[in-house]
Amino acid sequence: MGERVLMKGNEAIAQAAISAGCRHFFGYPITPQTEVAAYMSKMMPKVGGVYLQGESEVASINMVLGAAAAGVRVMTSTSSPGISLMSEGISYIAGSDVPCVIVNVQRGGPGLGGIQPSQSDYFQATRSTGHGDFHLIVFAPSTIQETVDLVNKAFDIGDKYRMPVMILSDGMLGQMMEPVVLPEETNTAKDKPWAACGHQGKRKHNVINSLYIDPNELERLVRERFEKYKTIQATEQMAEEYMTEDADIIVVAYGASSRVSRSAVDMARKQGIKAGLIRPITLWPYPVDTIKKVAKTAKVFLSVEMSMGQMVDDVRLAVNGAVPVEFYGRTGGIIPTPKEVYDQIVRLNGGVQ
């Protein structure tokens, strides 16, 4: 392992990508993620990599498509409005079965919204980051160290399944500093016999494509992709449980809001309230197994989000009516305080005994 250093979240994302063997970065400036690009522009020339500022998010994600098609590890980073612009390219990347890592340091929306932290792109990340039937693998870190670890994992899992992976961060995690241990760089070059990088006269030409005029062929390919998704749903779910074993009230929160919720659970425990926390780490595949298991013993779930209620739908689907599912959220760039979440826990508990 490397040395322990103090790093800003956005810079840690960039360094983690470089450590994971990423030597190609294409992006466009947008607050609050611009430090990722700035760090890449500083470091890539030093490690023999490519940093290129595209003329737009639209161009940048298509540069990612080109580099991914050519078989290299590639990443882009943006914030909410930028993901909207990238949606077209992300759909093509998914439809072309090429791997890449896409970072969304979320800010408030809709429209130009604001520049403060938000979690209001959950639907966009997990439901439809572009047109058509497809999914991204979505990781939601809650600390800088976890961000680093998940960026590393994102490249591996993307290569493994040949699909785009999103790091769903937010303005708080992007801008704050924490100590991290960066992983040592290992040999990350993967053999990609499908890549479009010149056949050198040694094989048939490779075609990276998402167009299938014959509906039967298109349906077959989409179904094949969904078989792959089933495997991912069965094997790649990740969640952290905190004091859930005896808990009656289960808070479900990811990313920045999970840090607040954890403090709220601690406050509740001090008052003798049996509260616990499930923190989804993969938002797609959603950790339904953990939720289902805990739903057998819990009395009520509370989804806490920095949105008007998006992940709560997935909690409800997983709980499937077994117990009530409630929601508490702040939006527009407001981070809920531990006290606010604690008050919700107390309300669900019917007060403090």
Amino acid at 40: M
Q: Give yes or no for a contact between 152 and 123, defined as CB atoms under 8 angstroms apart.
A: no
Q: Which of 1, 46, 55, 235 binds other proteins (CB under 8 A)?
A: 55
Angle, CA 336 vertex, CA 286 and CA 141 arms, to 5°: 35
By beta-carbon proximity to other proteins, the closer residue of 72 and 312 is: 72
Residue 282 · residue 311 · CB < 8 Å? no
Nearer to other proteins, 40 or 150 (CB): 40
What angle in degrees, to the nearest 10, is found between the helix axes of 144-161 and 9-19? 40
Nearer to other proteins, 203 or 296 (CB): 203
Query: Any contact of residue 237 with other proteins (CB under 8 A)?
Result: no
Pairing of strands 100-106, 50-53: unpaired
CA distance 186 to 184: 6
Q: Is 260 in the site for other proteins (CB under 8 A)?
A: no
Q: Find the binder of other proteins among 38, 43, 50, 322 (CB under 8 A).
A: 50
d(CA 156, CA 259): 27
Contact residue for other proteins among 31, 38, 43, 88 (CB under 8 A): 88
In angstroms, give the least distance from the CB of 66 to other proteins: 2
Q: 111, 146 in Cβ contact below 8 A?
A: no
CB 259 within 8 A of CB 279: no
Between 31 and 210, CB nearer to other proteins = 210
User: Is there a contact between 277 and 241 (Cβ–Cβ < 8 Å)?
Assistant: yes
The binder of other proteins chosen from 38, 43, 70, 85 (CB under 8 A): 70
Q: How many Å apart are CA 74 and CA 98, to the nearest integer?
A: 10
- Identity of the residue, 176 or 218, whose beta carbon is nearer to other proteins in the bound complex: 218
- Report whether 61 contacts 30 (CB < 8 A): no
Cβ proximity to other proteins, 96 vs 119, nearer residue:
96
Q: What residues from 95 to 114 belong to the interface with other proteins (CB under 8 A)?
A: 96
Q: How far is the CB of 295 from other proteins (least distance, A)?
A: 42
Cα 101 to Cα 88: distance, rounded to the nearest angstrom? 15
Nearer to other proteins, 209 or 231 (CB): 209
For residue 261, the minimal CB distance to other proteins (Å) is 39
Please, which residue, 70 or 243, has the CB nearer to other proteins?
A: 70
CA count, 13 A, side-chain hemisphere, 106: 31
- Scan residues 166-225 and list those touching other proteins (CB under 8 A): 195-202, 205-211
Query: Quick one: which segment of 13-21, 86-94, 293-301, 333-341 binds other proteins (CB under 8 A)?
Result: 86-94
Report if residue 56 touches other proteins, rule: CB under 8 A: yes
Among 29, 31, 38, 59, binds other proteins (CB under 8 A): 59
Which one among 24, 135, 153, 274 touches other proteins, defined by CB under 8 A? 24
Distance between first and last Cα of the chain: 47
Do 257 and 305 form a contact (C-beta atoms < 8 A)? yes
Distance, CA of 24 to CA of 44 (rounded, Å)? 8
Q: Shortest Cβ distance from residue 52 to other proteins (Å)?
A: 6
Read off the tokens for 74. Answer: 């590639």
Q: Are 138 and 284 in contact (CB under 8 A)?
A: yes
Q: Which x/- pattern, by CB under 8 A, does the window 115-154 give for other proteins?
A: ----------------------------------------
Query: Which residues contact other proteins by CB under 8 A?
Result: 24, 26, 50, 52, 54-56, 58-60, 62-72, 74, 88-89, 92, 96, 195-202, 205-211
